[in-house]
């Protein structure tokens, strides 16, 4: 099996579908899970169980700032000891141990005064969702999204048995509790179906979807990646890819695989593409997604 083996799935507005991924092959969704978390949070906003712009109790940042990475919170991805512990297959740290280690870096900026990607922000969002629903995040995602859409391959990744069942054997032994905001696993076709349903209008009210899609521009081209324009909305990377027009979705990566799941609304037949690969370079999956969009 070659490195950069790419599993793909796509679905278009017209109903056309394609790709080479098998329905039974399961992959980690990594940070594409943030899109699902954001949708769940926004559905709670719709029923007034959460407020986008009310500061969290005891904190200076809001839910909108957490979902858009403008809270000023640092990220645990910069902690060398975190990566060493994952590599050694140590027992995951407690949430408090993680927060203590990460917050020792201090806030990066005042909430709303900058942008910096933070997994810690999505940990806070997860905690907030679980607090107001009084249910584990995995149950909330199933009730709000997966069950409603009939995405039978997708489940919350919570144990080593699920890790052993992943398509790539390198995932065996990886403890998903190291992903503190929570992570989904599922097939490539179901990843494309999940994101496509968002843009088909089946998950959020029109006004809420508009809030989710409101993006912050982050600049132009990115070296070794297909982006010609970059930005971030709420739980969505949002910009443009070379030759494919606007691209809205999320890339994700972990120790043994990466993915790119994007909707391309500017195509004559707008489509959603999901690509999963055993590379460690998110650009590989993103280039594959953009190429499929250009071809179709």
Number of folded domains that form the chain: 1
Q: Is 123 within a domain?
A: yes
Task: Assess if residue 60 is contained within a domain.
Answer: yes
Give me the chain's average pLDDT, please. 96
In a domain, 246, yes or no: yes
CATH code at position 89: 3.40.710.10
pLDDT band at residue 226 under the 50/70/90 scheme: very high
Q: How confident is the model at residue 113 (pLDDT cuts 50, 70, 90)?
A: very high
pLDDT of residue 1: 36
Convert the pLDDT of each residue in 205-223 to its tens digit: 999 999 999 999 999 999 9
Q: Which domain holds residue 34?
A: 6-295
Q: Look at residue 273 and tell me if it is in a domain.
A: yes
Predicted confidence (pLDDT) at residue 2 exceeds the cutoff of 70: no
Neighbour-count burial for 88-118, b at 16+ CB within 10 Å, e otherwise = eeeebbeeeebbeebeeeeeeeebeeebeeb
**Predicted structure pTM score:** 0.97
- The answer on pLDDT for 38 being more than 70 is yes
Q: Is residue 240 part of a domain?
A: yes
**What is the per-residue burial (b if ≥16 Cβ within 10 Å, else e) of 14-33?**
eeeeebebeeebbbbbbbbb
- Asked if residue 138 has pLDDT above 70, the reply is yes
What is the pLDDT at residue 107?
A: 97
The percent of residues above 70 in pLDDT, for the chain, comes to: 99
Looking at residue 3, its pLDDT comes to 54
Residue 202: the pLDDT is: 85
Q: Which of 210, 230, 208, 212 is nearest to 221 (CA)?
A: 230
Let me know if residue 199 belongs to a domain: yes
Please report which confidence band the pLDDT of residue 4 belongs to, taking 50, 70 and 90 as the band edges.
Answer: confident
Question: Please, which pLDDT band fits residue 248 given cuts at 50, 70 and 90?
Answer: very high
Mean pLDDT of 155-164: 97
Average pLDDT over residues 49-68: 97
Tell whether 143 is covered by a domain: yes
Residue 1 maps to a domain: no
């Amino acid at each position: 099996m070659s490195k950069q083996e790419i599993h793909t799935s796509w679905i278009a507005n017209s109903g056309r579908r394609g790709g080479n991924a098998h329905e039974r092959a399961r992959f980690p969704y990594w940070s594409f899970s943030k899109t699902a978390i954001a949708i769940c949070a926004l559905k709670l906003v719709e029923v007034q169980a959460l407020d986008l712009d009310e500061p969290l109790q005891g904190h200076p940042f809001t839910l909108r700032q957490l979902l858009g990475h403008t809270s000023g919170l640092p990220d645990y991805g910069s902690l060398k000891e975190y990566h060493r512990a994952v590599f050694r297959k140590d027992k995951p740290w407690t949430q408090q141990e993680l927060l203590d280690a990460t917050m020792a870096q201090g806030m990066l900026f005042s909430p709303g005064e900058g942008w910096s990607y933070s997994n810690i922000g999505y940990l806070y969002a997860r905690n907030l969702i679980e607090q107001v629903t009084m249910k584990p995040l995995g149950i909330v995602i199933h009730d709000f999204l997966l069950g409603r859409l009939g995405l039978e391959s997708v489940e919350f990744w919570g144990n080593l048995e699920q890790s052993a069942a992943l398509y790539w054997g390198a995932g065996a032994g990886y403890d998903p509790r190291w992903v503190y905001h929570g992570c989904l696993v599922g097939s490539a076709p179901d990843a494309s179906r999940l994101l496509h349903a968002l843009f088909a209008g089946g998950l959020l009210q029109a006004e809420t979807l508009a809030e989710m899609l409101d993006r912050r521009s982050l600049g132009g081209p990115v070296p070794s990646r297909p982006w010609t324009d970059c930005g971030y909305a709420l739980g969505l990377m949002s910009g443009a890819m070379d030759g494919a027009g606007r691209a809205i979705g999320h890339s994700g990566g972990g120790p043994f695989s990466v993915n790119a799941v994007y909707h391309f609304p500017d195509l004559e037949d707008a489509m959603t593409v999901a690509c999963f690969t055993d590379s460690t370079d998110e650009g590989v999956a993103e280039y594959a997604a953009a190429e499929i969009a250009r071809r179709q």
